[in-house]
Structure 1
């Protein structure tokens, strides 16, 4: 089969290992490169997109391009104003895909050139798959379709009752965390090498996925200050009051979780404002920041939570274990907290429909202003917790739609490059490539 891989900085070297093994099985490998500093080493055809010039940019109105622009991290978080290059890259990618006509495209759903590729793959009916952790069970991943959280195929592997119960116990009692949350210490030398490589990329013309070093410095400084301001007025303990308590855990940005998969709600400040306006007088909305807060902690959000009487901000040091027992309901867009709530029978509602909503106790909110209060009333009148067997069935839904293997970034996690892990991943790739 003809396979196309999309460059994504250090992930490129990870997928290069997989591509090399797939080539040995007879597959024809191609690469689409946006950043010239991250070239795969394999002896495959590499199509490098030249950086745009004033002469190469031609505006062609396209709603799919506009949607990518609206979700772009450079535009939303790093103050970039010019959007002309999106149209240049879109035209190049569209033509390249049409000429190559690959059987499958593999890549992330984060960077703008990946999202443009996804849009064009949809239009040309080319399967685009994003291999990404399925969060739970740990050590597994799914192939997600295009820019969604919909799994493609799956291993159909079932856990035994004993193994499923062990997984459930580990999740409920927080004895384990998803692979992407596991700490991966990186040496200072490695960090400096990374910064130098990005600086070289920027100097050589890659100013589209790489922010200006000066802008980056200022934003990081502002981020640090915003965390301090947030915590100055935040609470560490939950008040023991009779109010109905709703928890919204902030999702870190920029991240595909919220900016792409949850793009309808990527403006979390606006989402929280809408939630606060909907809730009746006897409800309190608790906002728990991500322990590794980034740019979602804006001045506007801080002002909102400090000036709305029914919003309470929680301190960064507040543990989820100390929060959940006090909550009547948890709301999330696409957070991992959904799986944890499902298995611990904590009322949970999601704002994006995913595989998690297959669980009978995980509500989906289609229209916020219409659905939220009806869900609250329904839960209050009759909440139906999952039985032990239903929890086992749900875990096996996740297990069947996923594959053994860890998808990670070799910059921060060298273990993902181990021969055993690469072998597991190649096996999974091969299974979906069978005609």
Structure 2
């Protein structure tokens, strides 16, 4: 079977190690790259050039030619929308870089991707694609796969239980590939994990990895030099996953300054707990969890305002910052939140599990905190459609219809058995292993982890052949 991986920065190194193992079993692996840097990295590893689509090679088609879409190109993009249910405008707004470019450029980029990805997949008879769902390049590939009736999987952590991943279908995390039926062993694992969760209140590994306050680091200088060299060589031309040098410098300075100012003026407070409250947690941004999974709610300040408009006067809204986000947002952003009626901006280092237990309702866009709340039997809703919806009070909810009393009444039927059933289902349809990149988590490319992860890939691919 011919399969493909999409390059995504340092995760390309992780996917490459998995690909090597799959090729030993007879799979023929191809690569889709939005970046010349990572296409060149694959060449250096001995991957044949005819196995790699480097989209940056095709911008020359526009040189001296038409700078706007033809009618046929526009119709082709519209056809993708019809098959996938995803709008091109949404794809552009989901992308943290393309959304800042001129609309004509964005459409030309996506049209070029559409043409050459479709041709590459069809010509090479690729049956399954593995990807992330962060960049527009990945999102349009997912749309193309839907049109071609092929599976595009996004292997990703299932968050709870930790250390496991599943193969999510498409660009969101509403559904994942069904692997097998639940066994007695799955139920035992679920019961043991649930008891441990209630006792120890564990945080996922990725939370600890990312939980760092921005401060100047010496390795930033080497990174800047590397980016300047790539720019001079023209390696990043037409690479819409590359942050420009100026952007990176501005962002790093801004993060450090924001973090310092916040440490001095401290806009946060401890939870007063004087009145009943609803808990809403902010997402780190930019991040696929908010920009892609929760694209319709990606303006978090406006989302908070919508919640406030539906909140009864008997309740306060606790807005808790994500501790991984300190430095990302300005003091002005926090002051805008604090100016809203009946809103308390909560210290990001307060124990979130204790906040959950005291809340009448937990609201998040796509966050793990709703999953955790459900395990405690606390009413929780997500605004995005999420895979843990079977244990939530509501999922993919319309903010205009929120009714706290009704939600709490509906949850009176909460049973431990329902939680165990769901966790057992997660064990049955996920795999041991860490899906990450060696820059964030060096252990992900260890022989032990690659062996575990590859077993999952083998299983999901064998399902395609059966």
TM-score calculated relative to the size of structure 2: 0.83
* 1:286 is the counterpart of 2:290: no
Q: Which moved more, 1:163-172 or 1:380-389?
A: 380-389
**TM-superposed deviation, 1:403:** 1.3
Kindly report which structure 2 residues correspond to 1:245-394, keeping only aligned pairs within 5 A, or say none: 245-293=277-325, 297=329, 301-359=333-391, 361-370=392-401, 372-373=402-403, 376-381=404-409, 383-384=411-412, 386-394=414-422
Look up the match of 2:193.
167
**TM-superposed deviation, 1:315:** 2.4
- Rate the CA distance shift 1:197–1:134 in 2: closer, same or farther, 3 A: farther
**TM-superposed deviation, 1:25:** 0.9
* 1:212 is the counterpart of 2:218: no
- The one of 48, 52, 55 equivalent to 2:54 is 48
Q: Residues of 2 paired with 1:297 and 1:393: CA distance?
A: 39
Look up the match of 1:110.
134
Look up the match of 2:94.
71
- The one of 223, 239, 251 equivalent to 2:272 is 239
1:171–1:340 Cα contact (<8 Å) kept: no
Q: Residues of 1 paired with 2:270 and 2:310: CA distance?
A: 25
Q: Secondary structure at the match of 1:132?
A: strand
Q: How many residues align?
A: 428
Q: Secondary structure at the match of 2:381?
A: strand
Structure 1 segments unaligned to the other structure (5+ residues): none
**1:362-415 C-alpha deviation (Å, 9 max, x unpaired):** 322532102x12xx1224446326333222112112212211211011112111
Q: Secondary structure at the match of 2:209?
A: coil
Q: Residues of 2 paired with 1:423 and 1:250: CA distance?
A: 36
Which is helix-richer, 1 or 2? 2
1:130–1:144 Cα contact (<8 Å) kept: yes
**TM-superposed deviation, 1:106:** 0.7
* 1:141 is the counterpart of 2:165: yes
2:182–2:425 Cα contact (<8 Å) kept: no
**1:260-304 C-alpha deviation (Å, 9 max, x unpaired):** 122221221211111112222222111111111168735774343
**TM-superposed deviation, 1:20:** 1.0
* 1:176 is the counterpart of 2:186: no
Look up the match of 1:418.
446
1:254–1:294 Cα contact (<8 Å) kept: no
2:363–2:381 Cα contact (<8 Å) kept: yes
Structure 2 segments unaligned to the other structure (5+ residues): 79-86
1:285–1:311 Cα contact (<8 Å) kept: yes
**1:297-355 C-alpha deviation (Å, 9 max, x unpaired):** 35774343132122211123333144223321100111111221111112111112222
- Rate the CA distance shift 1:12–1:382 in 2: closer, same or farther, 3 A: closer
- Rate the CA distance shift 1:193–1:219 in 2: closer, same or farther, 3 A: closer
**1:114-136 C-alpha deviation (Å, 9 max, x unpaired):** 11211211222221111111111
Q: Residues of 1 paired with 2:197 and 2:130: CA distance?
A: 30
Q: Residues of 2 paired with 1:260 and 1:124: CA distance?
A: 22
Look up the match of 1:154.
179
**1:222-274 C-alpha deviation (Å, 9 max, x unpaired):** 344445666736333111323x3111111111111111122221221211111
- Rate the CA distance shift 1:202–1:119 in 2: closer, same or farther, 3 A: farther
- Rate the CA distance shift 1:154–1:266 in 2: closer, same or farther, 3 A: farther
- Rate the CA distance shift 1:380–1:8 in 2: closer, same or farther, 3 A: closer
Look up the match of 2:84.
none
Q: Secondary structure at the match of 1:217?
A: helix
1:37–1:197 Cα contact (<8 Å) kept: no
Q: Residues of 1 paired with 2:460 and 2:92: CA distance?
A: 31
**1:1-54 C-alpha deviation (Å, 9 max, x unpaired):** 010111111111111111111111111111112212222325342222235244
Q: Residues of 2 paired with 1:428 and 1:315: CA distance?
A: 39
1:247–1:286 Cα contact (<8 Å) kept: yes
**1:128-151 C-alpha deviation (Å, 9 max, x unpaired):** 111111111111100011102110
2:262–2:331 Cα contact (<8 Å) kept: no
Kindly report which structure 2 residues correspond to 1:66-105, keeping only aligned pairs within 5 A, or say none: 66-76=89-99, 79-81=100-102, 82-83=105-106, 84-105=108-129
- Rate the CA distance shift 1:92–1:219 in 2: closer, same or farther, 3 A: same
Q: Residues of 1 paired with 2:307 and 2:259: CA distance?
A: 22
1:13–1:410 Cα contact (<8 Å) kept: yes
Q: Secondary structure at the match of 1:383?
A: helix
